[in-house]
Structure 1
Amino acid sequence: MARLNLLEETRFEKLPVTVYPDQHIASRQIAARIANLIRKKQALGETTVLGLATGVTPIGVYAELVRLYKEEGLSFKGVVTFNLDEYYPMKPSAAQSYVTFMKENLFDQIDIDMANVHIPDGTLAPEDIAAFCLDYEQKISAYGGLDLQILGIGRTGHIGFNEPGSAPNSGTRLVTLDDLTRRDASRDFGGKQNVPTKAITMGIGTIFKAREIVLMAWNKKKAFIIKKAVEGEISSDVPATYLQLSENVEFVLDEDAASELTRFDIPWLVKDCNWNDASMVRKAVIWLARSLGKPILKLTEEDYNNNGMAQLATDHGPVYSINIHVFNAIQRTITGWPGGKPREEDTRRPERAEPAKKRSIIFSPHPDDDVISMGGTFIRLADQGHDVHVAYQTSGNTAVWDDDALRFVEFAIDFSKSQGSDTETLDQLYKDMRQFLATKQPNQADTREIQTVKGLVRKGEAIAGARFAGLDDAHIHFLDLPFYDRGKTQRNPVGEDDIEKTIALLQSVKPHQVFAAGDFADPHGTHQVCFDILLSALKRLKETEDWVNDCWIWLYRGAWHEFETHEIEMAVPLSPQEVERKRFAIFKHQSQKDRPVFPGDDAREFWVRAEERTRETAHIYDRLGLAEYEAMEAFVRYRL
């Protein structure tokens, strides 16, 4: 019976999927699977042939394999490896080379014979590539094929560097990289323009020959493409869908990467749900209304019955009562008083009424996240008389163009000269900057002086934006968390000093409200790291300081993605005039206008993204049957 239930739950999935609570547990399980294979073949006197992948995804697997070697005696002396791919052209000693990656994360820490290691050669002459690729295939065959191939997946659906359009029987070859793949790699190379346009990759046909194939994916950034790969139709547009044809494949995911699969995202379509869970009911009713294009109060029993929600209608009906309950719950998220409405009954409001004047801190990972993400709420909190502080957690100095840094120093020199001041020191600084920048390599860290200049550019813009929102300088704080600059040269840059700086600010303000960036799709991104530091600080303070128990944490999202409607716990509506004020606050960040250094996937300017995102949130509320507003900023409460 349990087997039948599982088959029903996974009926949309076209290949085996195993989901673990997090990537750490999943990585250990995959490493154990590899270790068991190695030990089994060693006992038989046989060679283990592994197909290996690079990128962030397999790092945890490699770390666990290193641990098994150092602590449990796992030997790699009889192991042969073939890597999936390598950029072309690429020197093996380059920081971005997959040779460097594999040595740092695995090979230099275990007892493998480097003669048994095979990685595509990024230094080949163009005329030698075809012969090399054929030889690569022949070497794999000579070892009897791959015993186990591990894979990641790119946001284009590529496996290896088999981009959209790849054939299912393709072999090792030179390929052209998709623009999205190059954008995703841009930070490693100091800009997309420095990412190679080509790569040598093992083909899909080669991967298919492996006796076992394990595709790994972690975090929400991969959820969309995982759904396509697992539940979509087989298509060259998503090369990973070809794996549906294999009998030897398994997808291993963490909960975030699996979150858009039907059994997790829309479970009522495949199984009985716990309709006593209010959040589940809210999610389902909103989904139904949006799917049918109906306001919530116009949903019928037939709508419920025809869309997997008959049990909800039966157990908790009549349907109209469910509709009213959900409608009212969403309506209660809307408030023009993000700091709470004084002297009003507040049991059904998102924020408390008292104290009437709250101490609030807006934590901004970069110097512009505050106004881009929640500028309207920021302004309203200040207008309504709350004691508002803003804390810029990092300098953001990597996101300033080199020529802008030079321009500001030129201005300082010219201004000093106009006042009759000595400019000898500035002249030398300017000369040194020009000399360094003339030979600066892609992704090379700036000199300390250049980092300082770029940081001051962004600091000045942040002050201007916060002043425009209504703050005086005493309420504007620059934490300049050390991890940000350490991260340019260290792998695990977060330190005790980051937490202590955050604790010191929290202790000085003792806020009733904390607003923090809640963009966690990238587990290694600045927003996630900044939140983890803030969370560590609050948890420590909670042990010793009573005010933390009365401090509410509100998460906001950045310019790209909004919270799902069913998740929103506070929606702050903005008038057309407030949208314009927010826009002007964003305009204070001139170095990020027109074309920022790190634009992401979206070519729109930040203010355009922010306005269109908040307008869409308001439109969703409107289409659900609620009041129509110009825009809405959304928040979710985080509970310690």
Structure 2
Amino acid sequence: MSRLNLLEETRYEKLPVSVYADEQTASIEVAKRISSLMLSKQEKGEQAVLGLATGATPVKVYKELIRLHKEEGLSFSNVVTFNLDEYYPMKPGSNQSYVRFMNENLFDHIDIKRENINIPDGELKREDIEDFCLKYEQKISSFGGIDLQVLGIGRTGHIGFNEPGSAPNSGTRLVTLDELTRRDASRDFGGVANVPTKAITMGIGTIFKAKEIILMAWNEKKASIVKKAVEGELSADVPATYLQLSPHVEFILDQDAASSLTRFDTPWLVKDCAWTDEQVTKAVIWLAKTLNKPILKLTEDNYNNNGMAQLAILRGPVYQINIHIFNKLQHTITGWPGGKPNADDSQRPERAEPALKRVIVFSPHPDDDVISMGGTFIRLADQGHQVHVAYQTSGNTAVWDDDVLRFMEFNIDFAESRGEDAKALKDTYNDMRNFISAKLPNQTDPEEIRTVKKLIRKGEAIAGARFAGVIDERIHFMDLPFYDRSKFQKDVSFEDDIVQTMELLQEVKPHQIFAAGDFADPHGTHKVCFNILVEAMTRLRKTESWTKDCWLWLYRGAWHEFETHEIEMAVPLSPQEVERKKLAIFKHQSQKDLPVFPGEDSREFWVRAEARTQETARAYDQLGLAEYEAMEAFVKWKF
């Protein structure tokens, strides 16, 4: 690509951006740049001063640096490090401390001198913090400043812990954390209530003084904030936008994190496109939404004035394009998610035959099925399909401790009401109560408590599935081992999870599989469960003939919904079906009112589900299609 074309393609971007195929490739590139700096400094007999970040983003970078040290002899003996931040208050030995994070992910595995490691002190007395911060700044200056500063970006747009409202010339200081930042950290602390409200952080002004700044971002969850940071106006509401003022900064992204940038999201605005069918669909829907017009009312002027003149010439006249996209969307709508028997299925998203299908709905947590596709779930059962539901994990992490005590008290009372000896139950109850009263944030529960929490979720899941019309023999509470194992082990094998999933699939031999494709879930469980399922199916497809006739549909809804142009099957729900779905969600009492891990959306799950399905229906309506109460959306997975 010529320099002129590149400048045109990136003209919305206000700072340099490099995009890599995936997180691993990008991380290796960042590690290579760090190692090059270190080697260059070693040759000159100088120290390399690194500004380091914590969190999930730099983990693979640190892993590659460790590999370079162990396998290629890269020495850190001349390296001085300054970490960006630390929670306050925070003991260095706590599971959530950045001291511990850095030791486990980097320092314990390399030959860095301990006296060269600098991390903000989370144990300081409040009155000593200001003096510490001043000395932290002075120490950075005494080494000649930071040579290379590594950054991540929070979904508030924070860099370090410089939250919205931070001044561009701010120095190292004590700050108050944004509520979204605290909710994002709640998984590590066993609930948002346990997340510190304060942190000590390098300031934006401190970061700016670095000779080179690399900001990294991975996955789709960061895409929207990356777009604001790269293409948005300078704003205290998005502190990362201040990086636009630095001549020494570069954003390094994977494709998912870059996906909302103009050159990838709406490329017709900056260059000539390869107008695939998918690109045409996306562009026409974008145009209709941008102009707030139904698809069939879009004109040639609308195309020409919004970067789509090339499409009008290549595929026009535009009215024919409009009709084509309108019909394509119309054909995604079906009230028969399992296929309509004895019907022409050439324009339908699902096959007509077999008329009654074997179906498995895989649910990562015990409520994802009814939250995300409860209306479709109920309709599949009502239409006579052999519906199975598989709850992949116990979900025991997301149960309040109070519920454990309440259920134990019920069991003790029930046993005593029958004249049974409840001493053993009482002893266990007392042990549980003593543990809970002294429990540390994010401390792993003992097996007895985990079991009660699992049984609470299991009972709710069974109740929800029964309400949806599934018979008991087709309700599978898988309780995949990785979920509890990951509470104790850093490196988790998924082999037994894959084998267990294969066994269930072989038993049912489904024609249809529904699985969670919502990887924005803050726990990461959805993605792990999906990977296990795909690996199980990939192995089975080598030997099992039934897999060739098995379709995999992805659902979303608990966290985000599919974009309209992505949807391949849209199942409309009547007001009555919306109500039935809500009642199915209500069976999950432990997740009602206030779930343990609500994520960024503080609304109850049933409210989110209702709102998102209504938004999908409204999007179809605004494009000129039929108006429905709600819609559940699905995308077909291509093996």
Please report the TM-score for the alignment, with normalisation by the length of structure 2.
Answer: 0.99
C-alpha contact (below 8 Å) 1:163/1:178 kept by paired residues: yes
Q: Is this contact kept in 2: 1:220–1:522, CA < 8 A?
A: no
Q: Supply the distance in 2 between the matched residues of 1:74 and 1:522 (Cα, whole angstroms).
A: 37
**Offset at 1:522?**
5.4
Q: Deviations over 1:317-342 (max 9, x none)?
A: 10000000000000000001100111
Post-superposition offset of 1:65: 0.1
Q: Which residue of structure 1 aligns with residue 397 of structure 2?
A: 398
- Whether the aligned pair in 1 keeps the contact of 2:494 and 2:532 (CA below 8 Å) is no
Question: 3-state SS of the aligned residue for 1:505?
Answer: helix
Q: Which amino acid aligns with 2:357?
A: K
Residue aligning to 2:447: 448
Cα distance between partner residues in 1 of 2:137 and 2:538: 54
1:558 deviation in Å?
2.8
2:521 and 2:250 map into 1 onto residues whose CA distance is 24
What's the secondary structure of 2:606's corresponding residue?
helix
1:292-371 alignment, distance < 5 Å:
292-371=291-370
- Partner-residue secondary structure (3-state), 1:407: helix
1:349-389 deviation line (CA, Å, top 9, x unaligned): 10011111110000000111001100100011011111100
For 1:475-624, what aligned pairs fall within 5 Å after superposition?
Answer: 475-521=474-520, 525-624=524-623
CA contact (8 A) 2:518 2:559 kept: no
Say if 1:219 and 1:523, in contact at 8 Å, map to a contact too: no
- Aligned equivalents of 1:522, 1:479: Cα separation in 2: 20
- 1:72 Cα deviation after fit: 0.5
In structure 2, runs of 5+ residues without a counterpart are none
Percent of aligned positions that are identical: 75
- 1:433 CA displacement: 1.2
> What residue is the counterpart of 2:52 in the other structure?
52
SS at match of 1:367: coil
Note if contact 2:520-2:559 (Cα within 8 Å) is conserved in structure 1: no
More displaced 10-residue stretch of structure 1: 111-120 or 174-183: 174-183
What secondary structure is seen at the aligned counterpart in 1 of 2:345? coil
Seen in structure 2, the aligned counterparts of structure 1 residues 22 and 524 have a Cα distance that, compared at 3 Å, is: farther
- Provide the residue aligned with 1:37 in structure 2: 37
For residues 42 and 283 of structure 2, the distance between their equivalents in structure 1, rounded to whole angstroms, comes to: 52
1:27 paired residue number: 27
Equivalent pair of 1:54/1:98 in contact (CA under 8 Å):
yes
In structure 2, the partner of 1:408 is 407
For residue 167 of structure 1, what is the aligned residue in structure 2?
167
After superposition, what is the alpha-carbon deviation per residue over 1:250-284, rounded to whole angstroms, capped at 9, x for unaligned? 00000111111100101100000012x00000000
8 Å Cα contact 1:221/1:522 also seen in 2: no
Mapped to 2, the partners of 1:126 and 1:631 lie a distance apart of 52
Q: Provide the C-alpha distance between the structure 1 equivalents of 2:460 and 2:126, rounded to a whole number of angstroms.
A: 48
State the alpha-carbon separation in 2 of the partners of residues 167 and 527 from structure 1: 37
Give 1:492 shift. Answer: 2.8
Deviations 1:498-556 (A, max 9, x none): 11110110000000100000012359600000000111110111111111111100000
Would you say the 8 A contact 1:362–1:391 is kept in 2? yes
Specify the alignment match of 1:82 in structure 2.
82
Aligned counterparts of 2:338 and 2:521: Cα–Cα separation in 1: 29
Q: 2:158·2:164 contact (CA, 8 Å) conserved in 1? A: yes
Paired residues of 2:160 and 2:202 also in contact (CA < 8 A): yes
* TM-score where L is the length of structure 1: 0.99
Aligned positions of 1:78-117 closer than 5 A: 78-117=78-117
In the alignment, residue 545 of structure 2 is paired with which amino acid?
D
Encode CA deviations 1:200-226: one digit per residue, 9 max, x unaligned. 111111111111100000011111110
- State the alpha-carbon separation in 1 of the partners of residues 60 and 82 from structure 2: 19
Counterpart amino acid of residue 331 in structure 1: Q
Equivalent residue number for residue 464 of structure 1 = 463
State the alpha-carbon separation in 1 of the partners of residues 139 and 602 from structure 2. 44
Residue 434 of structure 1 aligns with an amino acid whose one-letter code is R
How far the C-alpha of 1:560 sits from its partner, in A, is 2.6
Residue aligned with 1:314, SS: helix
Q: Deviations over 1:467-523 (max 9, x none)?
A: 111111000001100010011122233421111110110000000100000012359
Task: Give the count of matched residue pairs.
Answer: 639
Alpha-carbon distance in structure 1 between the residues aligned to 2:600 and 2:126: 31
Q: C-alpha separation between the residues in 1 aligned to 2:378 and 2:539? A: 30
CA RMSD after TM alignment:
1.0
Q: Contact 2:357/2:511 (CA < 8 Å) preserved in 1?
A: yes
Whichever residue aligns with residue 492 of structure 2, its letter is: P
1:512–1:552 Cα contact (<8 Å) kept? yes
Cα distance in 1 between the residues matched to 2:197 and 2:468: 43
Note if contact 1:560-1:613 (Cα within 8 Å) is conserved in structure 2: no
1:131-171 deviation per Cα after TM superposition (whole angstroms, max 9, x unaligned): 11111111111111111000001111111111111111111
Alpha-carbon deviation of 1:347? 1.4
Query: CA–CA distance in 1 between the matches of 2:193 and 2:39?
Result: 45
Shift of 1:25: 0.2
Q: CA deviation at 1:94?
A: 1.0
- In 1: Cα distance, 2:348 partner to 2:489 partner: 45
The alpha-carbon deviation at position 172 of structure 1 amounts to 1.0
For 1:162 and 1:49, how far apart are their aligned partners in 2?
A: 21
1:136 corresponds in structure 2 to 136
Aligned to 2:290: 291
Q: Distance in 2 between matches of 1:48 and 1:135?
A: 20
AA aligned opposite 2:580 = R
Deviation at 1:312, TM superposition (A): 0.5
Q: Answer whether contact 1:484 1:493 (CA < 8 A) is retained.
A: no
Shift in Å, 1:176: 1.2
Q: Measure the CA separation in 2 of the matches of 1:195 and 1:484.
A: 22
Contact persistence 1:518–1:527 (CA under 8 A): yes
More displaced stretch, 564-573 vs 185-194:
185-194
Counterpart CA distance in 1 for 2:248 and 2:22 is 23
Q: Which residue of 2 aligns with 1:148?
A: 148
- The AA in structure 2 aligned to 1:632 is M
> What is the Cα deviation at residue 295 of structure 1?
0.4
Please say if residues 219 and 522 of structure 1, whose CA atoms lie closer than 8 Å, have aligned partners that are also in contact: no
Q: Does the CA contact (< 8 Å) of 2:557 and 2:612 recur in 1?
A: no
* d(CA) in 1 for partners of 2:73, 2:225: 38
Which residue number in structure 2 is paired with residue 67 of structure 1? Answer: 67
Between 411-420 and 383-392, report the one with greater CA deviation.
411-420
Question: Hey, what does 1:239 align to over in structure 2?
Answer: 239
User: Do residues 197 (structure 1) and 197 (structure 2) align?
Assistant: yes
